[in-house]
Amino acid sequence: MLVDADSKTISEIGEKRLISDFVRPFFNRANSVGGVGDDCAMIDISEDSLLLASTDRVPANLIAFELGLLDHYGLGRYLACLNLSDIAACGGTPEAMLLNMGLPGSLPYRDFAAICTGFGELAASFKCPVLGGDITESAELSISATAIGRVRKSHVLTRRGATDGDVIFVSRPIGLTPAAFAFYRSGLPQILEPDEIRKLNGQFTQLLPMFELSSRLVSEGVCTSCMDNTDGIGQSFTELAEQSGTRIVINLDTIVIPDVVRKVAVAVGEAANLLALGAGADFSLVGTLRGNWTSESAGRAFGLPVQIIGRVERGSGVFVEQQGSRQSLSVGGWNYFAGSSVKSRGSG
């Protein structure tokens, strides 16, 4: 229960504190795996299987949509990716989706059809049928979906298993989405080459949920915790540390940041590593591995690029290390109502 919060608005509290201080203890008092706190709800359906369920919404003021980086087709595709990525983060296989649409009466039919087409085509690419949902009238465009999947109990990935000595990993280049937001929202001159702009735009139009990597993490049996990155790398590891009851340390001396991210960071006057760890969704899988892994050995084992960027220790919180100096992570990710804690506002 939130203390001394009765007189506050939810904008003063923020999404993350609403979840951690009220929603999670209210709906999942025992902090059980499968309840509030992981990427998916997990329902015991047989001796060896769990049903996975996750729901997420895409509003009309999604920043990429407002900026014109996504059209209505792209908005539907993005919604499907957002929901299916949660199934991947839990090691599951998608089974079905439901689509819910709140639509203003003035929305052109072609835009409605484009949303459905983008959503349906992305779902179909993963052999995941859309089985129904709901359509209702709304003052503004508001679309949401529910993804349903299945996973063997022995294979499920959660946010809760990181332990002292594990290494931490990310599965996509760090910082491209925060850099894209910083580039477009700061009114920068055309400092980027066409191929660099295409790379940033691809963060909104080309990404897919990482089911192949998820399957390989499961089969290797060394992934101790996992989630998908939809709020920012710093925020993702903050949540993993909290759920696992451990401390996470990110090594800034070895972290690989793409050149285009560094270029944008210089232009907006921000440290590249702070920009890269800030708010922005890329549907990458982030988490922890048991054992002494390097980026090269992990890439060989999983058959896909994986970057090792730090380690897990006893304690709490998220810290960054650079040249032997350690400090608490000072950036976060997207936090609805309270907004982003960094300049490069996230995916919300």
Give pLDDT, residue 28: 62
d(CA 87, CA 81): 10
d(CA 39, CA 86): 5
Which DSSP string corresponds to 70-123? S-HHHHHHHHHHHHHHHHHHTT-EEEEEEEEEEE-TTS-HHHHHHHHHHHHHHH
d(CA 183, CA 190): 9
pLDDT above 70: residue 19: no
Q: Tell which residue, 53, 49, 47, has the closest CA to residue 151.
A: 49
d(CA 335, CA 346): 8
Residues facing residue 310 across a β-bridge: 168, 250
In the chain, CATH 3.90.650.10 covers 167-328
Q: Tell which residue, 313, 186, 307, 191, has the closest CA to residue 252.
A: 307
**pLDDT mean over 310-327:** 94
Tell me the C-alpha to C-alpha distance, in Å, between residue 242 and each of 101, 155, 247, 312.
33, 22, 8, 12
Give pLDDT, residue 341: 42
Give pLDDT, residue 100: 97
Q: Tell which residue, 333, 326, 36, has the closest CA to residue 181.
A: 333
**What tens digit of pLDDT does each residue of 193-208 get?**
999 999 999 999 999 9
- Give the angle 219-286-250 at the CA atoms, nearest 5°: 125
CB count within 10 Å of CB 136 equals: 9
Element (H, E) at 136: strand 130-137
Give pLDDT, residue 62: 85
pLDDT above 60: residue 146: yes
Is residue 147 within 8 Å of residue 262, measured between CB atoms?
no
61 pLDDT band, cuts 50/70/90, is confident
Give pLDDT, residue 10: 60
d(CA 75, CA 121): 12
How is residue 36 written in tokens? 């509030």
pLDDT above 90: residue 35: no
Burial label for 223, CB within 10 Å (0-12, 13-18, 19+), is buried
Question: In the CATH scheme, what architecture does the domain 32-155 have?
Answer: 2-Layer Sandwich (3.30)
Q: What is the mean pLDDT of the chain?
A: 88
Is residue 85 within 8 Å of residue 209, measured between CB atoms?
yes
CATH of 167-328, one of 3.40.50.720, 3.30.70.940, 3.40.50.300, 3.90.650.10: 3.90.650.10
Tell me the C-alpha to C-alpha distance, in Å, between residue 217 and each of 28, 36, 90, 91, 202.
27, 23, 10, 8, 25
How is residue 56 written in tokens? 């997420």
**What tens digit of pLDDT does each residue of 83-92 get?**
999 999 999 9
At 6, the amino acid letter reads D
Which residue, chain included where needed, has tokens 């009466």?
Answer: 105
Q: Report CA torsion sign: 62, 67, 71, 77.
A: negative
**What tens digit of pLDDT does each residue of 134-144 get?**
999 999 999 99
State percent of the chain over pLDDT 70: 84
In the chain, CATH 3.30.1330.10 covers 32-155
Q: How far apart are the first and last CA of the chain?
A: 26
Give pLDDT, residue 330: 74
Q: Report pTM.
A: 0.87
